[in-house]
Chains A and B, each alone.
Chain A
Amino acid sequence: METRIRRIYVRVVGLLLAGAALAPFSSAALAQSDQEIDDIISPDLERREIREAKIDSEDFEFTLYLGGILSVEDFGSDRMIGGSLAYHINEDFFMEAAYAQSTLGESSYERLSGSAPLLTDDERDLSMYNLSLAWNFLPGEIFLGSKFALNSNLYLIGGAGNTNFAGEEHFTYNIGVGVRMLAQDWLALRLDVRDHIFEHEIFGEPLNTNNLSAQLGVSIYF
Chain B
Amino acid sequence: MTTALLILGVLGGFSSSVYAQSETASEELVTDSFSAHQFGEREPQTLSFDSEQVIVGAEFLNLYTGPGRGYVIDHVVEYGEPLWLIKRRTDWVKVMTRTGKTGWAKIAELDEIYTPEGEQVAVPTPGIDDYYQQSFRMGFTYGDFAGANSMGISLGYRFTGNISAELRAAQTIGAYSDSQTYQVALMHQPFPRWRLSPYFVLGTGVNITSPNATIVATEDRKDTAMLVGLGVTTYLSRRFALRAEVANHYLLTSRDENQEIVEWKLGFDVFM
List the interface of chain A (C-beta within 8 A of B): 48-59, 87-91, 131, 136, 139-141, 149, 151, 160-162, 167-171, 185, 201, 221
Chain A facing B: main interface SS: strand
Known interface pairs A55-B52, A162-B173; A91-B92 also in contact (CB < 8 Å)? yes
With the chains together, A151 CA to B212 CA distance in Å?
48
Which secondary structure dominates chain B's binding surface?
Answer: strand
Binding site for A on B (CB under 8 A): 50, 52, 54, 65-71, 85-94, 113, 115, 119-124, 140, 142, 149, 151, 171, 173, 178, 212-214, 238, 240, 270
Contacts beyond the supplied A58-B89, A89-B240: 19 A-B pairs with Cβ under 8 Å? A49-B120, A52-B122, A53-B85, A53-B113, A54-B52, A55-B123, A58-B87, A58-B88, A59-B90, A91-B68, A91-B92, A139-B68, A140-B70, A151-B65, A151-B66, A167-B213, A171-B149, A201-B212, A221-B89
- A53 and B120 contacting across the interface, CB-CB below 8 Å: no
Please determine whether A161 and B151 come into contact, CB atoms closer than 8 angstroms: yes
A59 x B89 contact (CB < 8 A): yes
Whether B91 and A55, one on each chain, are in contact in the complex, defined by CB atoms closer than 8 angstroms, is: no
B212 engages A185 (CB within 8 Å): no
Query: What would be 11 A-B contacts, judged by CB atoms less than 8 Å apart?
Result: A51-B121, A53-B52, A53-B54, A55-B87, A58-B88, A91-B91, A136-B68, A160-B142, A169-B178, A185-B89, A201-B214
Contact of A170 among B71, B85, B94, B173 (CB under 8 A): B173
- Write out the residue numbers on chain A whose beta carbons fall within 8 Å of the beta carbon of B67: 91
Q: Are B122's CB and A53's CB within 8 A?
A: yes
Could you tell me the distance in whole angstroms from the C-beta of A202 to the nearest C-beta in chain B? 8
CA distance A94 to B93 in the complex (A): 18
Chain B hits for A167, CB < 8 A: 213
Give, as a whole number of angstroms, the nearest-CB distance from A80 to chain B: 21
- B contact residues around A140 at 8 Å (CB): 70
Report whether A51 and B122 are in contact in the complex, using a CB–CB cutoff of 8 Å. yes
Most buried by A among B66, B92, B213: B66
